[in-house]
Amino acid sequence: MTNLIDGRAIAEQIHAETAHRITALKARGVQAGLAFVRVGEDPASRVYVGMKEKTSERLGIKSTTTVLPDATTQAELLALITQLNADPSCHGILVQAPLPAHIDQAVIFAAVSPAKDVDGFHPVNVGKLMLGDTTGFVPCTPAGVHELLIRSGVKIAGAEVVVLGRGNIVGKPMAAILCQKAKHADATVTLVHSRTRDVAAHCRRADIIVAAMGVAHFVKADMVRPGAVVMDVGVNRIPDPTAKNGSRLVGDVDFAAVQPIAGLITPNPGGVGPMTIAMLMRNTVRAAEVASR
């Protein structure tokens, strides 16, 4: 079918634009710098940071990675962030989640300078997003979903959008992006969650569904109105005896059943995932541009 939104291809478009901006910065003697901080040896975190490191290198962003042991104290992590905040060669800081249970994630995210918060998690940047202040950084995954909608020609203004999931990383910022009185926004957004009485009924009236609940194959065919746009943000590991390691990753959407009904749909993998990294790189370059003015 031809209704796939190719996240990899659109991410490459954005990388090309970002690379052009990196070249312009280098012509002015500025090297964009991004610092990754990882605490512990969570396997998924190792993979995610590795992918971001490779993309940074490919685009010409100078990245550094600090890996701290699981036993690192909150005070020690805060001391490292203070050091990175003061480093003029570092324009963006990414502290990879999840963090060990003894470290308060909210405290750590709030310690990163808002000007270097390329993940968009600092309270200042969250507040700017809610106010429609475009000088802040927007979290990378919802920003990536927004770009996919824009570059796929989806009409957002006036659309009924249902966002599944109220998390701080995707759900809440996604709703805030789409309901702004702004270009490529002006949608009517419903945010559903685990306490919503009839999730399926809300989904069936949606022009656009953004699935970010973290439940494998939650969105079924009978929940989708024919022609609706379906964006699958979920990353869920399910058992698969045919797979090499006995499991595989799937999204929140029952893709095989929903694709024939949807007007447009993101594959998973290959949809939203590549966009998250593309938006991180773009945020980092913007941070470097602002810092060098």
Q: What is the pLDDT of residue 122?
A: 98
Structure tokens at 85: 């905040």
Whether 70 is catalytic is: no
Which of 52, 116, 128, 172 is labelled catalytic?
52
Nearest one of 280, 1, 275 to 120, comparing CA atoms: 280
pLDDT of residue 64: 97
The tens place of each residue's pLDDT in the chain, 293 residues long, gives 589 999 999 999 999 999 999 999 999 999 999 999 999 998 889 999 999 999 999 999 999 999 999 999 999 999 999 999 999 999 999 999 999 999 999 999 999 999 999 999 999 999 999 999 999 999 999 999 999 999 999 999 999 999 999 999 999 999 999 999 999 999 999 999 999 999 999 999 999 999 999 999 999 999 999 999 999 999 998 999 988 889 888 999 999 999 999 999 999 999 999 999 999 999 999 999 999 99
pTM of the model: 0.96
Helices (H), the chain: 7-27, 43-59, 74-85, 105-111, 123-131, 140-151, 171-179, 199-204, 255-258, 273-291
| 117 is annotated as an active-site residue | no
pLDDT of residue 243: 87
Q: Which of 96, 117, 172, 232 is catalytic?
A: 96
Q: Where along the chain do the CATH 3.40.50.10860 domains lie?
A: 29-114
- Put residue 270 in one of left, alpha, beta given phi > 0 → left and psi -120 to 50 → alpha: left
Which CATH number is 29-114 given? 3.40.50.10860
Catalytic residue among 116, 117, 119, 252, which?
119
CATH fold of 140-273 reads Rossmann fold (3.40.50)
Q: Give start-end residues of each CATH 3.40.50.720 domain in the chain.
A: 140-273
Any catalytic annotation for residue 240? no
Dist. CA 49–CA 8, nearest whole Å: 18
